[in-house]
């Protein structure tokens, strides 16, 4: 598989990823324009909680499937080996969460949100059942079908959100439809998600036929041994990405409404920064099976180095676009003068952090290819420790600004450790100097441009920013394009 094909698959996966992460970025304007910041804080808090629980549902066996399903002759056996035991496990886990919903609501400080916790359990179960059929599509290099399924479910989610939050309230008052006016509109958002997840499940439900296959049952044990350390990696990843929302709730000073509002402001700006994270997610969808397929190639390390360089360039261009045009993009997270906009100061920090997270995914290929997943677990656990300590120490004094800086420091250290450790076990000639130059020049260009052109009228600034973005993209991108087109050997510089 060529780098060109990897790029095209990343674009296709990106379409579904951009439309889909955490009930999708396209819903942020709807939430931030209609809901008060405290309600949006509830949405962010509960979706962060779902991120933790999702790891329990999938057990990272999709990655084990990529590892053991590389051989086409063994692929169906590996798939059946996962699907049978996981189905029973998902059903038991969901039953437990449904029964424990009152306790969960009480423990988390939302004693009246019992229905919300039950809906979350059903969403997680449906999403877990769809995860493995979608992983099979990724391994079989069928990104168009993958994207079609994802986009259909997400489209339904968007439509139902708009109906419940915007359209139906225009025609139905509280007397006619009291269910449209709950204490918190979080439940409406969750209902929309549940319907979208159900549609996605129906689209992949034909894969349930693999439950009838008995071949490959001996594969599950080695697959689980391979995936077990990755469960810790995934939990640590969720901690690094989402625990700040949980800790902000308990460590921020102020009343309950004030704390929920601060979480809402932080989460809205985090969503804006997640444009880079969405690109990273799209890249992961395409790159993870690509790395395994490419591992037998004699030039595999050279290919991985090229891929990392191109990822960094693309992400740096995205950083330039978001930072230069944030005066217009901010209206995606609220009207003019919205309280959400006071959090824009953390945008450069979170964007840089998300680029580093993408680099970590690139650099961590070594422990997956060499079956040293325990090493990856130790790196991830170290990152989680930094996240917990940094947030716990500094949130009371600096608020969500501490969460943003902690995220950046955490991912920076994980990149350094993963690279250093990986070079000892699976050396890859990553062009670190060039990659660092991409990121630093992006930050420098945007800082200088915003401060030097802030006196211009909006039209003049917009035109200037377009020109600067094109110059940056062409200045760095054209030489890289020429290298790919000619497929010149990379000297690692």
Render 56-112 in DSSP notation, one character per residue: HHHTTHHHHHHHHS-SHHHHHHHHHHHHHHHHHHHHHHHHHHHHTHHHHHHHTT-TT
- Percent of all residues in the chain with a pLDDT value above 70, rounded to a whole number: 85
Number of domains making up the chain: 1
Domain hosting residue 133, numbered range: 3-486
Q: Which backbone phi and psi does 173 adopt, to 5 degrees?
A: -90, 180
Which of 3, 32, 14, 6 lies closest to 280, judged by CA? 14
Q: How far apart are CA 335 and CA 30, in angstroms?
A: 11
Whether 464 and 455 have beta carbons less than 8 Å apart is answered as no
Q: How confident is the model at residue 493 (pLDDT cuts 50, 70, 90)?
A: very low
In a domain, 493, yes or no: no
Model pLDDT for residues 178-199, shown as the tens digit of each residue? 888 887 788 888 999 999 999 9
Q: What is the pLDDT of residue 483?
A: 72
Model pLDDT for residues 409-436, shown as the tens digit of each residue? 999 999 999 999 989 888 889 999 999 9
In a domain, 491, yes or no: no
Which residues, 6 or more positions from 424, have their beta carbon under 8 angstroms from its beta carbon? none
More confident residue, 392 or 45: 392
Q: How far apart are CA 264 and CA 329, in angstroms?
A: 17
Q: What's the whole-number mean pLDDT along residues 462-479?
A: 92
Is residue 20 pLDDT above 70, yes or no?
A: no
Which of 427, 270, 433 lies closest to 350, judged by CA? 270
Whether 50 and 124 have beta carbons less than 8 Å apart is answered as yes
Which of 79, 78, 88 lies closest to 57, judged by CA? 88
Cβ-count burial of 493 within 10 angstroms (0-12 exposed, 13-18 middle, 19+ buried)?
exposed
Is residue 462 pLDDT above 90, yes or no?
A: yes
Q: What is the pLDDT of residue 426?
A: 86
Q: How far apart are CA 306 and CA 304, in angstroms?
A: 5
Q: Which two tokens stand for residue 279?
A: 């690109």
CA dihedral 361→412→243→390, nearest 10 degrees, is 160
For the chain, the average pLDDT equals: 81
**Among 8-22, 119-133, 170-184, 318-332, where is mean pLDDT lowest?**
8-22
In a domain, 237, yes or no: yes
Model pLDDT for residues 95-108, shown as the tens digit of each residue? 999 999 999 888 87
Model pLDDT for residues 255-270, shown as the tens digit of each residue? 877 887 888 888 888 8
Q: How far apart are CA 434 and CA 493, in angstroms?
A: 6
Q: What is the pLDDT of residue 284?
A: 66
Q: How far apart are CA 303 and CA 492, in angstroms?
A: 11
Q: How far apart are CA 4 and CA 66, in angstroms?
A: 21
Is residue 295 pLDDT above 80, yes or no?
A: no
Is residue 490 pLDDT above 50, yes or no?
A: no
CA dihedral 138→139→144→145, nearest 10 degrees, is -80
DSSP letters, 333-346, are G-STT-GGGGGGGG
Q: Which two tokens stand for residue 46?
A: 């509960």
In a domain, 126, yes or no: yes
Q: Which two tokens stand for residue 32?
A: 């931030």
**Which phi-psi region, left, alpha or beta, contains residue 338 (left: φ > 0; alpha: ψ -120 to 50)?**
beta
**Unique residue bearing structure tokens 């810790």:** 232
Task: Provide the H-helix boundaries in 252-372.
Answer: 256-294, 300-324, 326-329, 347-363, 365-369
DSSP letters, 166-208, are IIHHHH--TTT-GGGS-SSTHHHHHHHHHHHHHHHHHHHGGGG
């Amino acid at each position: 598989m060529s780098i060109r094909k990897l790029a095209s698959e990343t674009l296709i996966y990106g379409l579904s990823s951009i439309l889909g992460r955490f009930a999708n970025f396209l819903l942020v304007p709807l939430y931030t324009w209609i809901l008060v910041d405290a309600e949006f804080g509830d949405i962010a808090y509960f979706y962060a909680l779902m991120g933790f629980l999702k790891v329990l549902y999938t057990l990272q066996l999709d990655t084990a499937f990529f590892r053991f399903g590389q051989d086409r002759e063994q692929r169906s056996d590996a798939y059946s080996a996962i699907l049978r035991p996981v189905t029973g496990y998902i059903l038991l886990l969901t039953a437990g969460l449904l029964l424990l919903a009152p306790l969960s609501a009480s423990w988390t400080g939302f004693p009246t949100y019992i229905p919300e916790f039950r809906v979350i359990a059903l969403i997680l179960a449906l999403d877990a059942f769809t995860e493995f059929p979608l992983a099979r599509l990724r391994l079989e290099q069928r990104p168009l079908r993958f994207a079609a399924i994802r986009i259909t479910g997400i489209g339904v989610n968007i439509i139902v959100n708009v109906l419940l939050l915007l359209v139906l309230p225009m025609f139905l008052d509280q007397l006619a439809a009291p269910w449209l006016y709950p204490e918190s509109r979080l439940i409406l958002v969750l209902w929309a998600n549940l319907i979208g997840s159900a549609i996605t499940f129906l689209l992949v439900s034909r894969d349930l036929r693999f439950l009838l296959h008995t071949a490959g049952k001996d594969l599950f044990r080695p697959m689980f041994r391979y995936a077990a350390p990755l469960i810790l990696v995934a939990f640590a990843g969720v901690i690094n990405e989402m625990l700040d929302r949980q800790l902000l709730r308990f460590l921020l000073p102020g009343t309950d409404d004030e704390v929920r509002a601060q979480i809402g402001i932080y989460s809205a700006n985090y969503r804006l920064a997640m444009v880079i994270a969405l690109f990273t997610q799209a890249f992961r969808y395409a790159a993870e099976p690509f790395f395994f397929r490419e591992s037998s190639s004699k030039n595999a390390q050279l290919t991985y180095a090229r891929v990392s360089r191109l990822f960094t360039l693309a992400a740096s261009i995205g950083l330039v676009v978001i930072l230069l045009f944030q005066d217009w993009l901010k209206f995606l997270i609220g009207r003019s003068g919205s309280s959400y906009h006071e959090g824009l100061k953390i945008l450069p920090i979170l964007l840089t952090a998300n680029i580093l997270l993408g680099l970590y995914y690139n650099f961590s290929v070594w422990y997956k290819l060499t079956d040293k997943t325990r090493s990856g677990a130790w790196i991830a656990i170290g990152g989680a420790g930094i996240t917990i300590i940094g947030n716990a120490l500094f949130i009371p004094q600096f608020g969500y600004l501490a969460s943003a800086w902690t995220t950046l420091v955490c991912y920076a250290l994980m990149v350094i450790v993963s690279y250093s450790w990986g070079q000892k076990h699976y050396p890859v000639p990553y062009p670190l100097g060039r990659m660092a130059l991409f990121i630093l020049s992006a930050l420098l260009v945007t800082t200088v441009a915003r401060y030097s052109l802030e006196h211009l009228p909006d039209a003049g600034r917009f035109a200037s920013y377009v020109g600067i973005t094109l110059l940056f993209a062409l200045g760095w991108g054209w030489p890289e394009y020429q290298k790919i087109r000619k497929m010149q050997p990379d000297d690692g510089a």
